[in-house]
Amino acid sequence: MTQPLILRKLILIILLWIVAFLIYSCAAVAPPDGGPKDEIPPQFVSATPKAGSLYFKGGEVSIKFSEYIGEKSIKNAIKISPRLDSPAGIKYADDEIIINFPENLLSDQTYVITLNRNLKDERGVALDQSIQIAFSTGDVIDEGIISGRVFGEDGYGVHLWKLKSGFDDSVFFTEPLYVAEADDDGFFNFKYLAPGDYVLMGIERSAAGANLIPERMAHGVSSDTLYSLGKNQIVEGVFLNPKRETPPLKMTHGEWMGQRWGWMYFNWELDEITFEGLNVIDSKETVQPLDFYQDEQDKKRFLIMAPDTLNSGKAELRLAAVLSKVDTLLAHAKINFRVPTKSDTTHVKQSLPKSTVTVRLEKDGGPTIPIVFSKPIMAVTDSAFFLVADSDTVVVAFDWINPIEIEFLPPNGWEEKTKYILMIFADKLTPIEGKSLKDSVNYVRFNSEKKLGYGGLSGMVEDGGVNPLIELSALKKESEIFHSSVNSDLQFHFSNIPEGPYRLMIIFDRDRNGEFSYGSVHPFQPSEWFYIHPDTFDVRANWDIDVGLIREERE
């Protein structure tokens, strides 16, 4: 073999080895297929200049993370406080974010970079909590802190403003000076604050950093108007409980289902109201007054019924006023709809229940179970309903809640561990239009389980405060709420509470309305002070549980 041929083969072997090494190296960078999903949040590693640096002159700040950051997540993830006259430049560099500050910074000022939970790694895992990094243009870093917790079912942020002069509620509608995002448990923390007076507001996380639009954003104020910080002072235990504002009442739309009846819809669930001047004008200008009945399954809508058949075509529903006990909630509403040309020939359907109902017997023999039909029933003859329980069969009569709904309860209440069948005979029901039930007999089945147990819960609070009120909220699908006052010995007691887990809330019921008052931003009204205990309390059947002294985290 000649020397050049040997040399060429040697070169080829070396090249193949290099290619194989490169392929292996590239493959080694990627995580192996399968295995647990990466859910570890990116971690802050360091900042250059170092966090807490003094005599900061502006220029470039590099923030390094434990892994590559998703470039698209940076856009809405960074806020600098106080606001800069000229915006800072932001550059992505894999596992680093580089922020270029202008040089015309305020003297003796602490600047804070806040990285919120919009910041995510390449796999879309967000920060577990907001990160704050501070620099000072002077010789000291401000060390004031305001911290607390936002309560609610969703994610929240917190806006903070430093007051330049006295308090004015218009501040809540301006861009916040500082923004923090609460973690998954609702805790928030503002650090590096200078001495002064501050106000804050909780807001839904999707709107964090934006100017407040009250009717569109869930928000909530605290129980104090402002918080005064001295040098390096810490204020803890600020509690916020945001909610959405109730919009003005509106009649949103209507549906005319047949030639004599339909539905009227509102944007609120209504309670204890009356209607004035409710009528309909059909295509031939015939005016008919309407009877109305609230749908107990959806309290935003009302069944409406005319005494006679309406002429087909365009019609107008008019409502002069919706009145509560003392207020006019809505005045002069009207909506248009169409009355069908053809008469209704369809069968009535049993809308609820849709399957076998499992019943847990309550102390009063209940609960009642709704039986709902798809259209109004205008007449019911005797023996329309038979109840079969074990081997007994009895005829039962019902009081109708409204023309489409009855509430079913056996004549002597439910019995434990018993099967029931309610038989509904189609020929005994006459609907407003169309035909009765398709099947000659409809069957509704119920299984009664063990009786629900009842117990008691008692305890003490640390501070009598302003008219203290204790609220227990059941932690189940359909939450029940119970209230107890606190006596002169700061003791409270609940009795005959259904067994199960509960959340305990202490309220200083300033306005004495028997429930928590959220306050408002305009005109400003602070919320009532409240404290939600971090633990749940289990009420057990036939037990009176003493939870002892409830120690409150105080502002």
534 CB-near residues (< 8 Å, 6+ apart): none
391 and 460 share a domain?
A: no
Is residue 488 included in any domain, yes or no? yes
Is residue 413 included in any domain, yes or no? yes
Q: For residue 108, give Cα distances in angstroms to 55, 144, 197, 457, 509.
A: 8, 15, 18, 55, 44
Q: Can you tell me the distance from the alpha carbon of 379 to that of 4, in angstroms, rounded to the nearest whole number? A: 109
Q: Name the nearest CA neighbour of 101 among 111, 116, 114, 115.
A: 111
Is residue 26 included in any domain, yes or no? no
71 and 144 share a domain?
A: yes
Is residue 127 included in any domain, yes or no? yes
The residue segments making up the domain with residue 410 are: 350-449
Is residue 10 included in any domain, yes or no? no
Q: Coil, strand, or helix at residue 488? A: coil
Provide the b/e sequence for 156-174 (b: ≥16 CB within 10 Å): bbbbbbbeeeeeeeebbee
Provide the b/e sequence for 427-446 (b: ≥16 CB within 10 Å): ebbebbbeebbeeeebebeb
316 and 370 share a domain?
A: no
Residue 29 pLDDT? 42
209 and 72 share a domain?
A: yes
Residue 27 pLDDT? 44
What's the distance, Cα to Cα, between the start and end of the chain in Å? 91
Q: Identify residue 196 by its one-letter amino acid code.
A: G
Q: Can you tell me the distance from the alpha carbon of 56 to that of 137, in angstroms, rounded to the nearest whole number? A: 4
Is residue 19 included in any domain, yes or no? no
Which residues of the chain have a pLDDT value below 50? 23-32
Q: Name the nearest CA neighbour of 177 among 313, 265, 81.
A: 81
C-alpha 47: how far from chain center? 37
355 and 480 share a domain?
A: no
363 and 334 share a domain?
A: no
Give the pLDDT confidence of 83-129 residue by residue, as tens digits: 788 889 999 999 999 999 998 898 888 999 989 888 999 999 998 88
Q: Can you tell me the distance from the alpha carbon of 310 to that of 282, in angstroms, rounded to the nearest whole number? A: 6
Q: Can you tell me the distance from the alpha carbon of 260 to that of 294, in angstroms, rounded to the nearest whole number? A: 17
**CATH assignment at residue 258:** 2.60.40.1220
201 and 288 share a domain?
A: no
295 and 204 share a domain?
A: no
Residue 24 pLDDT? 47
Helices assigned H by DSSP within 347-395: none
Q: Can you tell me the distance from the alpha carbon of 206 to that of 521, in angstroms, rounded to the nearest whole number? A: 19
Domain boundary among 339, 362, 380: 339
488 and 424 share a domain?
A: no
Give the pLDDT confidence of 284-326 residue by residue, as tens digits: 999 999 999 999 999 999 999 999 999 999 999 999 999 998 7
Domain boundary among 240, 272, 295: 240
Residues paired with residue 313 on neighbouring β-strands, in sequence order: 339
368 and 432 share a domain?
A: yes
444 and 537 share a domain?
A: no
Q: Can you tell me the distance from the alpha carbon of 506 to that of 225, in angstroms, rounded to the nearest whole number? A: 20
Q: Name the nearest CA neighbour of 375 among 418, 427, 431.
A: 431
Q: Are 139 and 55 in contact (CB under 8 A)?
A: yes
Please count the structural domains in the chain: 4
**CATH assignment at residue 131:** 2.60.40.10
324 and 394 share a domain?
A: no
Q: Coil, strand, or helix at residue 281? A: strand
* φ/ψ (deg, to 5) at 252: -80, -45
Q: Coil, strand, or helix at residue 429? A: strand
